[in-house]
């Protein structure tokens, strides 16, 4: 149970549980058949405008998290099933960014965990 985060370039494992790519763009250098994904959730990735604005600049991290959360607030039909799944089994949010601390998967993990704390498993 719970939510994990993993770079797509790391090998998949059974411990990952349900693997979801949470990037809008397919990561470079990765073949789709090698990604071992259960889902590609483009709909919950940051908007192209937000992604370009953030540009993985650590100084914009907190502002990015808040702006991304605002975008997610309007997309519950896409992320809520993942949150509910994570209440009962492991969900791994897979991403392609090099920065393992400041990326949309980490922001999404915090958002989903906060929602689960407030609403509990269904």
Count of C-beta atoms within a 10 Å radius of residue 76: 12
What does the pLDDT look like over 19-68, one tens digit per residue? 999 999 999 999 988 899 999 999 999 999 999 999 999 999 999 999 99
Could you tell me the pTM of the whole model? Answer: 0.94
Tokens of 1: 């149970």
| Domain boundaries, position 89 | 2-119
For the chain, how many structural domains are there in total? 1
Cα angle 111, 72, 119; round to 5: 50
């Amino acid at each position: 149970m719970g939510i994990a985060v993993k770079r797509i370039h790391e090998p998949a494992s059974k411990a990952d549980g349900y693997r979801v790519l949470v990037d809008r763009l397919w990561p470079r250098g990765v073949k789709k058949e090698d990604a071992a994904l259960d889902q590609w959730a483009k709909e919950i990735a940051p908007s192209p405008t937000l992604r370009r604005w953030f540009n993985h600049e650590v100084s914009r991290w907190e502002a990015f998290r808040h702006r991304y959360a605002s975008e997610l607030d309007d997309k519950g039909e896409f992320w809520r099933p993942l949150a509910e799944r994570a209440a009962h089994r492991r969900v791994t949010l897979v991403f392609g960014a090099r920065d393992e601390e400041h990326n949309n998967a980490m922001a999404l993990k915090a958002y989903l965990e906060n929602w689960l704390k407030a609403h509990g498993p269904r």
